[in-house]
Protein backbone atom coordinates (compact mmCIF):
# COMPACT_ATOMS: atom_id res chain seq x y z
CA UNK A 1 0.00 0.00 0.00
CA UNK A 2 2.90 2.39 0.61
CA UNK A 3 3.32 2.79 -3.15
CA UNK A 4 0.03 4.69 -3.18
CA UNK A 5 1.70 7.56 -1.36
CA UNK A 6 4.41 7.92 -4.01
CA UNK A 7 1.87 8.61 -6.74
CA UNK A 8 1.77 12.31 -7.67
CA UNK A 9 -1.66 13.93 -7.75
CA UNK A 10 -2.15 17.25 -9.54
CA UNK A 11 -4.11 19.50 -7.19
CA UNK A 12 -4.00 22.72 -9.16
CA UNK A 13 -7.36 24.08 -10.34
CA UNK A 14 -9.30 22.09 -7.73
CA UNK A 15 -9.94 25.13 -5.51
CA UNK A 16 -7.15 23.86 -3.28
CA UNK A 17 -6.07 26.47 -0.74
CA UNK A 18 -2.57 25.01 -0.65
CA UNK A 19 -2.06 25.15 -4.43
CA UNK A 20 -4.55 27.62 -5.87
CA UNK A 21 -3.92 30.05 -3.01
CA UNK A 22 -0.20 30.41 -3.70
CA UNK A 23 -0.40 33.66 -5.64
CA UNK A 24 -2.54 35.39 -3.02
CA UNK A 25 -0.42 34.10 -0.13
CA UNK A 26 3.13 34.30 -1.46
CA UNK A 27 2.82 36.70 -4.41
CA UNK A 28 3.74 33.97 -6.86
CA UNK A 29 2.59 30.51 -7.89
CA UNK A 30 6.11 29.54 -8.94
CA UNK A 31 6.91 27.58 -5.79
CA UNK A 32 6.28 24.27 -4.09
CA UNK A 33 3.57 24.73 -1.45
CA UNK A 34 4.39 23.08 1.87
CA UNK A 35 2.34 25.27 4.20
CA UNK A 36 -1.35 24.37 4.67
CA UNK A 37 -1.65 21.25 6.84
CA UNK A 38 -3.37 18.90 4.46
CA UNK A 39 -1.70 16.05 2.58
CA UNK A 40 -1.19 15.41 -1.12
CA UNK A 41 -2.32 11.78 -0.79
CA UNK A 42 -5.51 10.18 -2.05
CA UNK A 43 -7.95 9.35 0.72
CA UNK A 44 -8.55 5.71 1.67
CA UNK A 45 -10.54 3.80 -0.92
CA UNK A 46 -13.28 3.16 1.65
CA UNK A 47 -13.95 6.90 1.88
CA UNK A 48 -14.02 7.33 -1.89
CA UNK A 49 -16.45 4.44 -2.27
CA UNK A 50 -18.70 5.73 0.50
CA UNK A 51 -18.87 9.15 -1.16
CA UNK A 52 -19.50 7.65 -4.59
CA UNK A 53 -22.33 5.55 -3.20
CA UNK A 54 -23.87 8.61 -1.61
CA UNK A 55 -23.62 10.70 -4.78
CA UNK A 56 -25.51 7.99 -6.66
CA UNK A 57 -28.62 9.16 -4.82
CA UNK A 58 -29.88 12.35 -6.54
CA UNK A 59 -31.14 14.22 -3.46
CA UNK A 60 -28.78 16.00 -1.06
CA UNK A 61 -31.07 17.29 1.65
CA UNK A 62 -30.70 18.08 5.33
CA UNK A 63 -29.02 15.19 7.10
CA UNK A 64 -28.97 13.40 10.43
CA UNK A 65 -25.98 11.65 11.94
CA UNK A 66 -26.77 7.93 12.25
CA UNK A 67 -25.99 6.03 15.42
CA UNK A 68 -23.56 3.92 13.40
CA UNK A 69 -21.38 7.03 12.98
CA UNK A 70 -21.11 7.52 16.73
CA UNK A 71 -20.36 3.83 17.19
CA UNK A 72 -17.59 4.00 14.57
CA UNK A 73 -15.92 6.80 16.55
CA UNK A 74 -16.38 4.97 19.85
CA UNK A 75 -14.86 1.79 18.39
CA UNK A 76 -11.93 3.72 16.88
CA UNK A 77 -11.03 5.43 20.15
CA UNK A 78 -11.19 2.14 22.03
CA UNK A 79 -9.13 0.15 19.51
CA UNK A 80 -6.62 2.87 18.68
CA UNK A 81 -6.23 4.66 22.02
CA UNK A 82 -7.68 2.22 24.59
CA UNK A 83 -10.17 4.92 25.54
CA UNK A 84 -13.73 3.93 26.42
CA UNK A 85 -16.00 6.82 25.45
CA UNK A 86 -19.72 6.90 26.19
CA UNK A 87 -22.19 7.78 23.45
CA UNK A 88 -23.74 10.63 25.41
CA UNK A 89 -20.36 12.37 25.72
CA UNK A 90 -20.08 13.00 21.98
CA UNK A 91 -21.11 16.32 20.43
CA UNK A 92 -20.59 16.75 16.69
CA UNK A 93 -19.11 20.08 15.59
CA UNK A 94 -18.28 21.73 12.25
CA UNK A 95 -14.50 21.40 12.65
CA UNK A 96 -11.86 21.71 15.36
CA UNK A 97 -11.21 25.44 14.85
CA UNK A 98 -14.93 26.23 15.32
CA UNK A 99 -14.80 23.93 18.36
CA UNK A 100 -12.07 26.06 19.94
CA UNK A 101 -14.20 29.17 19.55
CA UNK A 102 -17.31 27.33 20.69
CA UNK A 103 -15.79 26.06 23.94
CA UNK A 104 -14.21 29.42 24.81
CA UNK A 105 -17.53 31.20 24.24
CA UNK A 106 -19.72 28.64 26.01
CA UNK A 107 -17.65 27.92 29.10
CA UNK A 108 -15.88 31.16 30.00
CA UNK A 109 -17.07 34.59 31.07
CA UNK A 110 -16.36 37.90 29.36
CA UNK A 111 -12.71 38.92 29.95
CA UNK A 112 -11.95 35.55 31.56
CA UNK A 113 -8.37 34.33 31.34
CA UNK A 114 -7.65 31.62 28.77
CA UNK A 115 -4.20 30.00 28.65
CA UNK A 116 -2.39 29.06 25.44
CA UNK A 117 1.11 27.60 25.10
CA UNK A 118 3.03 29.23 22.24
CA UNK A 119 4.43 28.63 19.77
CA UNK A 120 1.13 26.98 18.88
CA UNK A 121 -1.41 26.64 16.08
CA UNK A 122 -2.46 30.24 15.48
CA UNK A 123 -6.29 29.77 15.71
CA UNK A 124 -5.74 29.20 19.43
CA UNK A 125 -5.04 32.92 19.77
CA UNK A 126 -7.99 34.08 17.69
CA UNK A 127 -10.34 31.74 19.57
CA UNK A 128 -9.55 33.80 22.67
CA UNK A 129 -9.60 37.26 21.08
CA UNK A 130 -12.72 36.53 19.01
CA UNK A 131 -14.70 35.96 22.20
CA UNK A 132 -13.26 39.00 24.00
CA UNK A 133 -11.46 36.85 26.52
CA UNK A 134 -8.09 37.62 28.09
CA UNK A 135 -5.10 35.80 26.58
CA UNK A 136 -2.63 34.33 29.07
CA UNK A 137 0.54 32.90 27.52
CA UNK A 138 2.38 29.97 29.07
CA UNK A 139 5.23 29.70 26.59
CA UNK A 140 6.85 26.35 25.91
CA UNK A 141 10.53 26.05 26.87
CA UNK A 142 13.00 25.11 24.13
CA UNK A 143 15.71 22.88 25.55
CA UNK A 144 19.03 22.38 23.76
CA UNK A 145 20.87 19.33 25.06
CA UNK A 146 22.52 18.60 21.75
CA UNK A 147 19.08 17.92 20.33
CA UNK A 148 16.31 20.50 20.45
CA UNK A 149 13.12 19.66 22.32
CA UNK A 150 10.22 21.51 23.89
CA UNK A 151 8.84 21.18 27.41
CA UNK A 152 5.99 22.77 29.29
CA UNK A 153 6.85 25.46 31.82
CA UNK A 154 4.80 23.89 34.60
CA UNK A 155 5.94 26.33 37.27
CA UNK A 156 4.70 29.29 35.28
CA UNK A 157 1.60 27.37 34.25
CA UNK A 158 0.58 27.08 37.89
CA UNK A 159 0.83 30.87 38.23
CA UNK A 160 -1.20 31.32 35.04
CA UNK A 161 -3.87 28.91 36.29
CA UNK A 162 -4.58 31.18 39.27
CA UNK A 163 -5.97 33.76 36.84
CA UNK A 164 -7.63 31.57 34.21
CA UNK A 165 -10.79 29.55 33.63
CA UNK A 166 -9.64 27.51 30.62
CA UNK A 167 -6.47 26.05 29.08
CA UNK A 168 -6.25 25.29 25.37
CA UNK A 169 -3.90 22.31 25.10
CA UNK A 170 -2.45 21.09 21.80
CA UNK A 171 -1.79 17.35 22.17
CA UNK A 172 0.09 16.21 20.12
CA UNK A 173 1.50 19.66 19.56
CA UNK A 174 1.34 21.65 16.33
CA UNK A 175 3.83 22.96 15.19
CA UNK A 176 6.61 21.53 17.42
CA UNK A 177 5.58 17.87 17.09
CA UNK A 178 5.74 16.95 20.78
CA UNK A 179 3.77 14.02 22.16
CA UNK A 180 3.34 14.87 25.82
CA UNK A 181 4.51 12.18 28.23
CA UNK A 182 2.57 10.74 31.13
CA UNK A 183 4.45 12.65 33.84
CA UNK A 184 3.86 15.95 32.05
CA UNK A 185 0.16 15.28 31.65
CA UNK A 186 -0.23 14.15 35.25
CA UNK A 187 1.39 17.39 36.42
CA UNK A 188 -0.96 19.30 34.16
CA UNK A 189 -3.97 17.49 35.62
CA UNK A 190 -2.83 18.24 39.17
CA UNK A 191 -2.64 21.94 38.36
CA UNK A 192 -6.09 21.85 36.75
CA UNK A 193 -7.63 20.17 39.79
CA UNK A 194 -5.93 22.52 42.24
CA UNK A 195 -7.09 25.66 40.44
CA UNK A 196 -10.45 24.47 39.05
CA UNK A 197 -9.16 24.85 35.51
CA UNK A 198 -11.04 23.39 32.55
CA UNK A 199 -8.88 21.99 29.73
CA UNK A 200 -9.81 21.74 26.07
CA UNK A 201 -7.39 19.18 24.64
CA UNK A 202 -7.08 19.47 20.87
CA UNK A 203 -6.13 15.91 19.89
CA UNK A 204 -6.70 16.22 16.15
CA UNK A 205 -3.22 14.79 15.48
CA UNK A 206 -3.56 11.90 17.95
CA UNK A 207 -3.71 9.28 15.18
CA UNK A 208 -0.55 10.63 13.52
CA UNK A 209 1.97 9.49 16.14
CA UNK A 210 5.18 7.77 15.09
CA UNK A 211 6.34 4.40 16.40
CA UNK A 212 8.82 5.98 18.83
CA UNK A 213 6.08 7.70 20.85
CA UNK A 214 2.67 7.01 22.37
CA UNK A 215 -0.25 9.40 22.61
CA UNK A 216 -2.20 9.38 25.88
CA UNK A 217 -5.68 10.92 25.69
CA UNK A 218 -5.77 13.41 28.54
CA UNK A 219 -9.35 12.55 29.50
CA UNK A 220 -8.57 8.84 29.64
CA UNK A 221 -5.50 9.44 31.76
CA UNK A 222 -7.48 11.63 34.13
CA UNK A 223 -10.13 9.00 34.67
CA UNK A 224 -7.56 6.23 35.11
CA UNK A 225 -5.71 8.27 37.71
CA UNK A 226 -8.76 9.05 39.83
CA UNK A 227 -12.16 8.19 38.42
CA UNK A 228 -13.89 9.91 41.35
CA UNK A 229 -11.97 13.15 40.94
CA UNK A 230 -13.68 16.26 39.63
CA UNK A 231 -10.64 16.67 37.36
CA UNK A 232 -11.91 13.74 35.33
CA UNK A 233 -14.77 15.90 34.19
CA UNK A 234 -12.83 19.07 33.51
CA UNK A 235 -11.37 17.67 30.29
CA UNK A 236 -12.97 18.29 26.90
CA UNK A 237 -11.35 16.60 23.92
CA UNK A 238 -11.52 17.63 20.28
CA UNK A 239 -11.13 14.78 17.78
CA UNK A 240 -11.58 14.47 14.03
CA UNK A 241 -10.70 12.19 11.12
CA UNK A 242 -9.75 15.24 9.05
CA UNK A 243 -5.96 15.24 9.49
CA UNK A 244 -5.56 11.47 9.75
CA UNK A 245 -7.48 10.61 6.59
CA UNK A 246 -6.92 13.84 4.65
CA UNK A 247 -10.52 15.07 4.62
CA UNK A 248 -10.30 18.49 6.35
CA UNK A 249 -12.35 20.12 3.59
CA UNK A 250 -15.40 18.09 4.65
CA UNK A 251 -15.51 19.82 8.03
CA UNK A 252 -16.87 17.41 10.63
CA UNK A 253 -15.35 16.82 14.05
CA UNK A 254 -16.45 15.90 17.54
CA UNK A 255 -16.04 17.06 21.11
CA UNK A 256 -15.85 14.42 23.83
CA UNK A 257 -17.44 16.04 26.91
CA UNK A 258 -17.93 13.83 30.02
CA UNK A 259 -19.22 16.76 32.12
CA UNK A 260 -22.97 17.05 31.62
CA UNK A 261 -23.23 20.77 32.48
CA UNK A 262 -20.39 21.57 30.09
CA UNK A 263 -22.04 19.45 27.43
CA UNK A 264 -25.37 21.23 27.79
CA UNK A 265 -23.74 24.67 27.69
CA UNK A 266 -21.81 23.81 24.54
CA UNK A 267 -24.84 22.26 22.82
CA UNK A 268 -26.92 25.33 23.67
CA UNK A 269 -24.29 27.69 22.30
CA UNK A 270 -23.94 25.60 19.16
CA UNK A 271 -27.70 25.81 18.60
CA UNK A 272 -27.63 29.59 19.08
CA UNK A 273 -24.93 29.88 16.41
CA UNK A 274 -27.33 28.43 13.84
CA UNK A 275 -24.53 26.45 12.22
CA UNK A 276 -25.25 23.31 10.23
CA UNK A 277 -22.84 20.65 11.44
CA UNK A 278 -23.63 17.73 9.15
CA UNK A 279 -24.14 17.27 5.44
CA UNK A 280 -24.66 14.20 3.23
CA UNK A 281 -20.95 13.92 2.45
CA UNK A 282 -19.12 14.57 5.69
CA UNK A 283 -21.30 12.02 7.47
CA UNK A 284 -20.42 9.12 5.20
CA UNK A 285 -16.73 10.10 5.01
CA UNK A 286 -16.45 10.41 8.81
CA UNK A 287 -17.96 6.98 9.40
CA UNK A 288 -16.05 5.22 6.61
CA UNK A 289 -12.76 6.69 7.85
CA UNK A 290 -13.16 5.43 11.39
CA UNK A 291 -14.76 2.13 10.44
CA UNK A 292 -12.47 1.06 7.58
CA UNK A 293 -9.41 3.31 7.59
CA UNK A 294 -7.15 1.48 10.04
CA UNK A 295 -4.98 -0.37 7.53
CA UNK A 296 -4.53 2.76 5.42
CA UNK A 297 -3.45 4.74 8.49
CA UNK A 298 -0.82 2.16 9.41
CA UNK A 299 0.62 2.35 5.90
CA UNK A 300 0.51 6.14 5.98
CA UNK A 301 2.44 6.34 9.25
CA UNK A 302 5.12 3.95 8.00
CA UNK A 303 5.51 6.10 4.88
CA UNK A 304 5.58 9.38 6.81
CA UNK A 305 8.12 8.00 9.30
CA UNK A 306 10.42 7.01 6.44
CA UNK A 307 10.00 10.46 4.91
CA UNK A 308 10.60 12.16 8.26
CA UNK A 309 13.78 10.20 8.92
CA UNK A 310 15.25 10.74 5.43
CA UNK A 311 14.40 14.44 5.51
CA UNK A 312 16.01 14.93 8.91
CA UNK A 313 19.12 13.01 7.87
CA UNK A 314 19.43 15.24 4.78
CA UNK A 315 19.00 18.43 6.81
CA UNK A 316 21.56 17.37 9.40
CA UNK A 317 24.09 16.46 6.69
CA UNK A 318 23.57 19.14 4.07
CA UNK A 319 21.94 22.13 5.79
CA UNK A 320 24.22 22.98 8.73
CA UNK A 321 22.65 26.42 9.21
CA UNK A 322 19.23 24.86 9.89
CA UNK A 323 18.37 22.67 12.86
CA UNK A 324 15.30 20.48 12.81
CA UNK A 325 13.25 19.13 15.67
CA UNK A 326 12.28 15.54 14.99
CA UNK A 327 8.50 15.38 15.41
CA UNK A 328 7.03 12.58 17.48
CA UNK A 329 3.71 13.17 15.69
CA UNK A 330 2.17 15.10 12.76
CA UNK A 331 3.49 15.44 9.21
CA UNK A 332 5.06 18.80 10.06
CA UNK A 333 8.74 19.65 10.49
CA UNK A 334 9.69 22.61 12.72
CA UNK A 335 12.83 24.15 11.25
CA UNK A 336 15.09 26.34 13.38
CA UNK A 337 16.51 28.89 10.93
CA UNK A 338 17.80 31.40 13.48
CA UNK A 339 21.43 30.92 12.46
CA UNK A 340 20.58 32.49 9.10
CA UNK A 341 20.22 35.77 11.04
CA UNK A 342 17.25 36.97 9.01
CA UNK A 343 14.23 38.76 10.39
CA UNK A 344 10.92 37.00 9.86
CA UNK A 345 10.03 38.91 6.71
CA UNK A 346 13.48 38.26 5.28
CA UNK A 347 13.34 34.59 6.19
CA UNK A 348 10.00 34.10 4.46
CA UNK A 349 11.26 36.06 1.45
CA UNK A 350 14.36 33.84 1.23
CA UNK A 351 12.28 30.66 1.18
CA UNK A 352 9.86 32.04 -1.40
CA UNK A 353 12.22 33.88 -3.73
CA UNK A 354 15.45 31.93 -3.47
CA UNK A 355 14.37 28.37 -2.58
CA UNK A 356 10.96 28.58 -4.32
CA UNK A 357 9.26 27.04 -1.31
CA UNK A 358 6.07 28.15 0.40
CA UNK A 359 6.24 27.28 4.11
CA UNK A 360 4.42 28.60 7.16
CA UNK A 361 6.45 31.33 8.92
CA UNK A 362 7.09 30.45 12.54
CA UNK A 363 6.14 33.93 13.70
CA UNK A 364 2.43 33.26 13.05
CA UNK A 365 2.50 30.65 15.82
CA UNK A 366 3.18 33.28 18.46
CA UNK A 367 6.06 34.04 20.78
CA UNK A 368 9.01 31.69 20.34
CA UNK A 369 8.17 31.05 16.70
CA UNK A 370 10.39 33.83 15.39
CA UNK A 371 13.19 32.50 13.20
CA UNK A 372 11.43 29.17 12.61
CA UNK A 373 9.57 27.77 9.60
CA UNK A 374 6.97 24.97 9.52
CA UNK A 375 7.32 22.50 6.64
CA UNK A 376 4.56 20.08 5.58
CA UNK A 377 6.01 16.70 4.53
CA UNK A 378 2.60 15.11 3.85
CA UNK A 379 3.44 14.72 0.18
CA UNK A 380 5.31 12.12 -1.92
CA UNK A 381 8.80 11.68 -0.52
CA UNK A 382 10.34 12.73 -3.83
CA UNK A 383 8.71 16.15 -3.42
CA UNK A 384 10.17 16.55 0.06
CA UNK A 385 13.69 15.60 -0.97
CA UNK A 386 13.54 17.79 -4.09
CA UNK A 387 12.43 20.72 -1.91
CA UNK A 388 15.29 20.17 0.51
CA UNK A 389 17.78 19.94 -2.36
CA UNK A 390 16.50 23.25 -3.68
CA UNK A 391 16.87 24.75 -0.21
CA UNK A 392 20.45 23.46 -0.06
CA UNK A 393 21.29 25.16 -3.37
CA UNK A 394 19.68 28.42 -2.25
CA UNK A 395 21.68 28.41 0.99
CA UNK A 396 24.93 27.66 -0.82
CA UNK A 397 24.25 30.46 -3.30
CA UNK A 398 23.57 32.97 -0.52
CA UNK A 399 26.63 32.08 1.58
The DSSP result for 114-143, as a single string, is: EEE-SS--THHHHHHHTTTPEEEE---EEE
DSSP states of 71-104 as a string?
HHHHHHHHHHH-----GGGEEEES-HHHHHHHHH
pLDDT over threshold 60, residue 75: yes
Mean pLDDT of the chain: 96
Confidence of residue 283 (pLDDT cuts 50, 70, 90): very high
Tens digits of residue pLDDT in 219-246: 999 999 875 555 457 999 999 999 999 9
Report the CATH number at residue 359: 3.90.1150.10
Lowest-confidence pick of 29-43, 159-173, 231-245: 231-245
Query: CB neighbours of 285 closer than 8 A, spacing ≥ 6?
Result: 43, 47, 50, 51, 241, 245, 247, 250, 252
114 shares its domain with 34: no
Q: Return left, alpha or beta for 95; rule: phi > 0 is left, psi -120 to 50 is alpha, else beta.
A: left
263 shares its domain with 320: no
- 269 is a domain residue: yes
Final residue of a structural domain among 276, 292, 308:
292
pLDDT over threshold 90, residue 133: yes
- 50 is a domain residue: no
- 215 is a domain residue: yes
285 shares its domain with 299: no
381 shares its domain with 279: no
The arithmetic mean of pLDDT across residues 290-302, rounded, is 98
Domain interval for residue 188: 59-292
pLDDT at 229: 53
Final residue of a structural domain among 268, 292, 316:
292
242 shares its domain with 263: yes
33 shares its domain with 64: no
Local structure of residue 42 (DSSP, 8 states): P
The arithmetic mean of pLDDT across residues 152-174, rounded, is 98
215 shares its domain with 334: no
pLDDT at 232: 55
Contact indicator for 117, 217 with CB cutoff of 8 Å = no
CA distance 396 to 389: 11
pLDDT at 371: 98
275 shares its domain with 304: no
The arithmetic mean of pLDDT across residues 267-280, rounded, is 94
280 shares its domain with 311: no
- 49 is a domain residue: no
In the chain, which ranges are E strands?
A: 32-33, 90-93, 113-116, 134-137, 141-144, 148-151, 166-170, 198-202, 235-239, 253-256, 323-325, 332-336, 357-358, 360-361, 372-376
211 shares its domain with 303: no
The arithmetic mean of pLDDT across residues 335-343, rounded, is 97
Final residue of a structural domain among 254, 275, 292:
292
pLDDT at 2: 64
- What is the domain count for the chain? 2
Neighbours of 4 (CB within 10 A): 14
- ∠ CA 140-347-330, nearest 5°, is 45
- 54 is a domain residue: no
Neighbours of 70 (CB within 10 A): 19
- CA 351, distance to chain mean position in Å, is 23
List b or e across 250-263, with b for residues whose CB sees 16 or more CB atoms inside 10 angstroms.
bbbbbbbbbbeebb
Confidence of residue 194 (pLDDT cuts 50, 70, 90): very high
The arithmetic mean of pLDDT across residues 152-164, rounded, is 98
Confidence of residue 287 (pLDDT cuts 50, 70, 90): very high
pLDDT over threshold 70, residue 314: yes
Percent of the residues in the chain that have a pLDDT greater than 70, as a whole number: 98
Amino acid sequence: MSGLFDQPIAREHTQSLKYDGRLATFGTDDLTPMWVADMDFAVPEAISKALQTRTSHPVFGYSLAPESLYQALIDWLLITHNWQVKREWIVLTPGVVPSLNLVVAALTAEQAGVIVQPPVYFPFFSAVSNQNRRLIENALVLKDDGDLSYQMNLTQLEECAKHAELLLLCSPHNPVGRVWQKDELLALLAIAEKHDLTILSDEIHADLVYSDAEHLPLSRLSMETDSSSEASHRIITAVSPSKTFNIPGLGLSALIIPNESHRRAIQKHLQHMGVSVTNPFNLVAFEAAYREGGEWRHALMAYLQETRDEAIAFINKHLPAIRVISPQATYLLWLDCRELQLDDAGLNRFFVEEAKLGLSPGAIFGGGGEGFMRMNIGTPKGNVMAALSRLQLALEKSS
